[in-house]
Structure 1
Amino acid sequence: MRCAEYQMMEERLYNWFIKKRQLNVRVSSEILREKAKVFCSEIYGSNVEFFASKGWFNNFRSRYGIKFLKISGEKLTNDSTAVQPFIEQLQTKIREKGLTNSQIYNADETALFWKKLPDKTLALRTEKTAPGRKIGKERITLLVCCNASGEHKLKLLMIGKAKNPRVFKQVKLPLEYANSTNAWMTEMIFRNWFKNSFVVQVRKHLKEKNLPVKALLLLDNATCHPLSLASSEEDICVMFLPPNCTALVQPMDQNAIRILKVNYRKSFLSFMLSNLTDNLTDVIKKFSLKDVAFLVMKAWNAVGTNIIYSDDDLPLAQLRSNP
């Protein structure tokens, strides 16, 4: 194989790149190309004409196995120093109350753009552009809750804008529904869900399993989660995660919500294909909140126990009563 023309520069550039990525520094193609010019000037002198072209950059990537990744999540902005003290406090509380994994719950909200179609498409070689449609911005909020063993997944709570959607008339929904002005969770909605849904479902489940009727619910510090819930029930208590740590220790954020959305997206696209006519716009218009309710509950039921809490993830394993 032919060696690179500026091999010393590329080796130095690659070592610099490795050090930056170990520190989770964002390195774009533009940054890398500009840094290559600097190193080239330092090593070979300012008289060398090196432009760091796109062709050179693509060859450099191929030689060193560098790929593009989309930056996702909020992990780097979270306070990792508060995680271990919280885990110790949690385990102390679990031992004091004598709780098992079946009695430890976690709940979290997530937004769902329920009419959003894929923004990419396969195309013919002769096509130069791919005209699109207006992006569906209809949004709902889902409240997801499950226990640490993964055996008890509570009914989803879906929050929309309409108080009494006409499509819900004479339909028995598989989930619970609430409404707010902007389809977001509010303190009133959450308080009502906790008292009339969470507590009722948890007590029923524990009695069926012949377990003591006591439980612990882990919540983040969102403003819609009232602090007074911590003492509202004697047998079912609430514990709040430390601020700026939810991306590190919020169990629902680790895998369950992501898989729920993946399952929903598959069901949504299957629904579109099965009802597809010559006009896709008509199919999308017919897709209603009633369809969402059944599809999203189907997606939640398809989330397996092994997916909700993975033994491979240390922070989640530490949150269990028997780590």
Structure 2
Amino acid sequence: MATTPKCKKRILENDSASPSPKRARKDLSLEEKINLIEDSDKIPKLTQKQLGEKYGIGCATVSDILKKKEFYNKQYADNSTGNKKRFTISSKYGDLNDLLFKWFTQARAKNIPLSGPILQEKALHFAKELDLTDFKASNGWLDSWKSRFSIAHFKVCGESGDVNLETVNNFLSRIDTNVQDYQPEDIFNCYETGLFFRALPDKTLAQKKSACKGGKIAKERLTVMFCCSAMGEKLKPMVIGKARKPRCFKNIDVTNLSVIWRSNKKSWMTEATFLDWIKSVNRIMRLKKRNIILFLDNATSHSHEIQLSNVKLSFLPPNTTSKLQPLDLGIIRAFKARYRKKNVKPSYIKH
């Protein structure tokens, strides 16, 4: 049958048109589903097509979510996180799982470190009490339990778990009184830290399934002490090493370094080293006709008995460094990150 010119043109247009791209599958998290449900109740009311375009899903998916909104609201209220995309509805050992999770939260509230084998042993104990004779506490059950309650494995780090918060709050309540006679530029803080100056990064990017091996960890250590004011004024840092004049200082006048260099057999801060430093700070402030207050921790090397004319020492309560020490709340970490970057730069430029 002959085709008319108009039909022929339509056929050619249909043949040349590219098919519409297939929409990529997208799973919304529980929190996103709750947001979608809330958006559907707003005025002016959005259509299902508009909701689908906003969240990148189809109209049918929007309709399914709205039909199950009571279920999703309950899941959101019951679960500890809204980032999960799928949830188990029921479990053969639901009572045991809930009992173990209750025990888990109580133990972590006391900062008790827990591992998989400990949880499995405790689960077997609860199974015996509940007369669940067929419960095995397998690795598969443990993975399922951790997924159900959003439990992940973390490295225990820092000392903040051992801090008495009442002591911290009492000190903070008195701090305004302690600094009322000083301007912000006259409020100083000092703190020392260990620096493994030859250590390489202990983490690396690598292809999956490839072995990540390293050599021995370099343990040569320096002690570095920083001191700065609330307004950012920095005093010259002090670095304590083992040698009075290391080989790298050959033909270099140590007094002209950008740091104060001190040494002892263990490269640690000692009371004599601290007294020498704090007296030099007092001389500098006396020449500048300034009176400052210096906050520092209760280390044994920090003498409590010394009386200075232009520097008032204010000691932090014991075991509160992780909460009250300003230099320990990001400043020292930033220094070490920059030092590590400059330390490894020559090695990757050569290779």
The TM-score, its normalising length taken from structure 2, stands at 0.67
Q: AA paired with 1:216?
A: I
Contact 2:188 2:295 in 1 (8 A): yes
3-state secondary structure, aligned to 1:81: helix
Q: AA paired with 1:154?
A: L
The whole-number CA distance in structure 2 between the counterparts of 1:76 and 1:9 is 29
Match of residue 133, structure 2, among 37, 43, 47? 47
Is the alpha carbon distance of 1:179 and 1:126 closer, same or farther for their aligned partners in structure 2, counting shifts above 3 Å? same
Deviation of the 1:25 alpha carbon? 2.5
3-state secondary structure, aligned to 1:8: helix
3-state secondary structure, aligned to 1:14: helix
Contact 1:154 1:201 in 2 (8 A): no
Q: AA paired with 1:145?
A: C
- Unaligned 5+ segments in structure 1 are 277-323
Is the alpha carbon distance of 1:54 and 1:203 closer, same or farther for their aligned partners in structure 2, counting shifts above 3 Å? farther
Is the alpha carbon distance of 1:15 and 1:191 closer, same or farther for their aligned partners in structure 2, counting shifts above 3 Å? same
3-state secondary structure, aligned to 1:136: coil
Match of 1:135 in 2: 217
1:1-323 pair list within 5 angstroms: 3-43=90-130, 45-48=131-134, 50-95=135-180, 98-124=181-207, 127=210, 129-149=211-231, 151-171=232-252, 172-196=256-280, 198-199=281-282, 213-229=290-306, 231-232=307-308, 234-276=309-351
Structure scoring higher RCO (CA < 8 A, sep ≥ 6) equals 1
Contact 2:164 2:320 in 1 (8 A): yes
Match of 1:291 in 2: none
Contact 1:37 1:52 in 2 (8 A): yes
Deviation of the 1:243 alpha carbon? 2.2
Q: AA paired with 1:83?
A: V
Q: AA paired with 1:188?
A: A
The whole-number CA distance in structure 1 between the counterparts of 2:169 and 2:208 is 54
Deviation of the 1:83 alpha carbon? 2.8
The whole-number CA distance in structure 2 between the counterparts of 1:101 and 1:80 is 26
Percent identical residues:
36
Q: Deviations over 1:211-248 (max 9, x none)?
A: x711101111212111233x12x222111122232233
Deviation of the 1:145 alpha carbon? 1.1
Contact 1:109 1:142 in 2 (8 A): yes
The whole-number CA distance in structure 2 between the counterparts of 1:78 and 1:125 is 39
The whole-number CA distance in structure 2 between the counterparts of 1:92 and 1:125 is 56
The whole-number CA distance in structure 1 between the counterparts of 2:108 and 2:334 is 28
Q: AA paired with 1:135?
A: I
The whole-number CA distance in structure 2 between the counterparts of 1:72 and 1:131 is 23
Q: AA paired with 1:134?
A: K
Q: AA paired with 1:68?
A: H
3-state secondary structure, aligned to 2:282: helix
Q: Deviations over 1:18-61 (max 9, x none)?
A: 23223323222122111222223333x1422x221222212222
Question: How many pairs were matched up?
Answer: 261
The whole-number CA distance in structure 2 between the counterparts of 1:261 and 1:202 is 29
The whole-number CA distance in structure 1 between the counterparts of 2:227 and 2:238 is 9
Deviation of the 1:137 alpha carbon? 0.7
Is the alpha carbon distance of 1:201 and 1:56 closer, same or farther for their aligned partners in structure 2, counting shifts above 3 Å? farther
3-state secondary structure, aligned to 1:218: strand
3-state secondary structure, aligned to 1:159: strand
Deviation of the 1:10 alpha carbon? 1.5
The whole-number CA distance in structure 2 between the counterparts of 1:246 and 1:131 is 35
Q: Deviations over 1:66-86 (max 9, x none)?
A: 111211122233333333343
The TM-score, its normalising length taken from structure 1, stands at 0.72
3-state secondary structure, aligned to 1:228: coil
Deviation of the 1:202 alpha carbon? 5.2
Q: AA paired with 1:118?
A: P
Deviation of the 1:126 alpha carbon? 5.9
Deviation of the 1:89 alpha carbon? 4.1
The whole-number CA distance in structure 1 between the counterparts of 2:314 and 2:279 is 16
Deviation of the 1:87 alpha carbon? 3.3
Deviation of the 1:200 alpha carbon? 5.4
3-state secondary structure, aligned to 2:330: helix
Match of 1:304 in 2: none
Match of 2:32 in 1: none
Q: AA paired with 1:47?
A: T
| Structure with max Cα Rg | 2
The whole-number CA distance in structure 2 between the counterparts of 1:131 and 1:27 is 28
